[in-house]
Amino acid sequence: MSEPDRASAVFSLDLSDDVVQMRDWLHEFAASVIRPAAAEWDEREEMPWPVLEEAAKVGLYSLDFYAQQYLEGSGLGIPVAFEELFWGDAGIGLALAGSSLAAVAVVANGTPEQVGEWCPQMFGGPGDVKLGAFCSSEPEAGSDVGAIRTRAVYDAAADEWVLNGVKTWATNGGIANVHVVVASVDPSLRSRGQASFIVPPGTAGLSMGQKFRKHGIRASHTAEVVLSDVRVPGRCVVGGRERLEERLARIREGGRGGEQAAMKTFEASRPGVAAMAVGVARAAVEYAAEYSRTRVQFGRPIGQNQGVAFMLADMAASVDAARLLTWRAAWMARQGKPFTCAEGSMSKLVAGETAVRVTEQAIQILGGNGYTRDYPVERWHRDAKIFTIFEGTSEIQRMIVGRAVTGLDVR
């Protein structure tokens, strides 16, 4: 076989049978359990515990499920799963997926012992559902992760780390069983002097501050986390104290310190977040298309009008494009290929912007109906906006992509 023939034989966009079965199973759960509950929990602005319990019963809300998808060979397990969950509802979807970000922070940077001890405690099981929370942002440190003020000081006599500071915008913050907190060990090194710390369940000094009432994703709990002389065992620094000390010594001597903990977590999660946005966008396209087939004006379905059909065509094409960028980034990450052209940031940027645009277009197609809470597109539009803000704003993603494109230090 010639080289061109061999290359064409290898390339495929077909999902494996296991991923297809998982996708179909999740779609059924999203359609039968998540969607019927979505409007209620959006109005209540509360954690949808009954849905989490149902998900735990069927094995969806579990460390085992997320581990299987993260380790799936093509890298597409998580993007496919998140697209289906968020097709069901973004708020409930984030309630189901929120603990996985804390788990990723430990898996991406931690020791095998830390993964084995703490990740199961972020999920629990049927009848004993638990939560994890990843705490990075602060009131004065959102996009500027280097400005984090939360301090971690090592008490050698007690072999404990003492944490003080305030975190904000934390999914599951204050109500989680396990918190993973990004803190500064050496403020003079800014982001390079930071590390992540595991705060075990029931640790004294950790409390919930303000709970935020949000524009969208209202079924997901978001709050401040206050750390006041929080003491955690020395072994709770993610990756281990020895590795941290080696990294800091290398940096102080002018060497490279490797990837910063919070940034490594965000980079690993970007294709997954992009897939969430794709799920919301796809839901809006499907709903608007069905509405255009059944809504009759001037004696014919509105979908026969070019103004509506062309809008739907652009919407469908942009969702597919966002999905393909997402799959590419997820596949590259799983194969260990570096994002040399900022492929992870591209996926989140395009998917987030697409979700906002197509949900707004869906409202336009539904007209006055779309502007009411009697139809889900209004909620999806509110939900979509978060994907241009959290885990790296669209502006930050553009900056990262811009640096890759120009080779310059874009600021």
The residues carrying an active-site annotation are 391
Confirm if 356 and 327 have CB atoms less than 8 A apart: no
In sequence order, the β-bridge partners of residue 134 are 180
Q: Please enumerate in sequence order all residues whose Cβ is within 8 A of that of 126, keeping only pairs 6 or more positions apart, or say none.
A: 53, 56, 57
Helix, strand, or coil (residue 105): helix
Q: Which of 178, 234, 186 is nearest to 202 (CA)?
A: 178
Distance CA 378, CA 406 (A): 38
Q: How many residues does the chain have?
A: 411
Q: What is the full DSSP assignment across 159-198?
A: TEEEEEEEEEEEETTTT-SEEEEEEES-GGGGGGGEEEEE
Chain centroid offset of residue 219 CA: 15
> What is the pairing mode between strands 178-184 and 132-135?
parallel
Distance CA 194, CA 150 (A): 10
Helix, strand, or coil (residue 209): strand
Distance CA 171, CA 79 (A): 19
Chain centroid offset of residue 321 CA: 19
In sequence order, the β-bridge partners of residue 346 are none
The full 3-state SS of 233-298, as one line of letters, equals EHHHECCCHHHHHHHHHHHHCCCCCCCCHHHHHHHHHHHHHHHHHHHHHHHHHHHHHHHHHHCEEC
Backbone φ/ψ region at 110: left (φ over 0), alpha (ψ -120 to 50), beta: beta
Q: Please enumerate in sequence order all residues whose Cβ is within 8 A of that of 381, keeping only pairs 6 or more positions apart, or say none.
A: 216, 284, 356, 359, 360, 362, 363
